[in-house]
Structure 1
Amino acid sequence: MIPTAEALKLAMDANLDLVEVASDAKPPVCRIMDYGKLKYERKKKTSKNTKQHQVQLKEIRMRPKIGKHDIEFKLKSARKFLEQKDKVKFNIMFRGRENAHHELGRTILGDIQEQLTEIAKVEQAPTMASGRNMIMVLAPR
């Protein structure tokens, strides 16, 4: 335990600062260090964490009787999502008599998968989810 005046003199001689580390302790704990450097490192540490991208799951819904142009339009938005590092969930909804033709949904999802191969990988292969929906999830490469 060093008196405060002596600790201040030691810090000034070393061209550093006397920084209180634990004010709750009896007696309070201080450290001789470069306070400007400490502040800089703390700021750098907090700013590094804020630049992380939060991955979102974007959903694109379709029906099995979707037109060619509509698929191209949906592909364009899916490509945009994948370039922004978000995952894309393709959902094909079957209603009524469409339920008898699940192969239409599989071919549509297969074509989509083929066209997005260079920027996406399949995270979940096309599967029938809850009776009426066929789902495929793509993640960015």
Structure 2
Amino acid sequence: MINEQIRDKEIRLIGEEGEQLGIMLVKDALKLAKDANLDLVKIAPTAKPPVCKIIDYGKYRYELARKDKEAKKKQKITEVKEIRLSPNIDDNDLNTKANNARKFITKGDKVKVTLRFRGREMAHISSSRQILDNFFAKLEDVAVVEKPAKLEGRSMIMYLTEKR
């Protein structure tokens, strides 16, 4: 809230240089802000009494936007990449998929390994867990199991993340 939008009777005022000007009426604070050719901005609305500061509002918004942009730049976004396998996958295909998963994991992404069952393949679920175990064995040096293999509907899903 800025200037006339502030509806409180009394506020704690902070000056342009950051000095405490004490508790005063809003109209007196507004007069001080107008004399300095600046805005009265409510900084801490939940405080008793609310804290307001005399600042240039446009400059204040610009600084906040810049800080948010800097914080966003530094944060790391982890994506979840999916690798799909089938119960009758061959060794070379499994190696290729494992190499792709290795690239994803070393980049810092999580990998969701999905083993899809179609038709009669649902009868051999117990032997298919071995495929996921072999897949993880190929990535043991760079990955850890975040969520172990679990059957969900017609697919068995396992999550891998980077070793710390």
CA positional deviation for 1:118: 1.8
**Which of 81, 101, 112 is the aligned partner of 2:124?**
101
TM-score (norm 1): 0.67
C-alpha separation between the residues in 2 aligned to 1:127 and 1:115?
19
The aligned counterpart of 2:57 is none
In structure 2, the CA distance between the partners of 1:30 and 1:135, relative to structure 1 (3 Å rule), is closer
In structure 2, the CA distance between the partners of 1:79 and 1:30, relative to structure 1 (3 Å rule), is same
The aligned counterpart of 1:12 is none
The aligned counterpart of 2:147 is 124
1:90 aligns with 2:100: no
**Which of 48, 51, 59 is the aligned partner of 2:74?**
51
Q: Which amino acid aligns with 1:105?
A: S
SS of alignment partner, residue 129 of structure 2 = helix
SS of alignment partner, residue 82 of structure 1 = helix
Give aligned-pair identity as a percent: 34
The aligned counterpart of 1:79 is 102
The aligned counterpart of 2:161 is 139
SS of alignment partner, residue 144 of structure 2 = strand
SS of alignment partner, residue 81 of structure 2 = strand
Residue segments in structure 1 that go unaligned for 5+ positions in a row: 9-18, 24-28, 32-38
Matches within 5 A, 1:4-43: 22=41, 43=66
Residue segments in structure 2 that go unaligned for 5+ positions in a row: 1-27, 43-51, 55-61
TM-score (norm 2): 0.59
SS of alignment partner, residue 87 of structure 2 = coil
C-alpha separation between the residues in 2 aligned to 1:48 and 1:82?
24
SS of alignment partner, residue 101 of structure 1 = helix
Which structure has more RCO (C-alpha within 8 Å, separation ≥ 6)?
Answer: 1
The aligned counterpart of 2:24 is none
C-alpha separation between the residues in 2 aligned to 1:44 and 1:90?
38
Farther off after superposition, 103-112 or 85-94: 103-112
SS of alignment partner, residue 148 of structure 2 = strand
C-alpha separation between the residues in 2 aligned to 1:45 and 1:93?
42
Aligned residues: 125
CA positional deviation for 1:30: 7.3
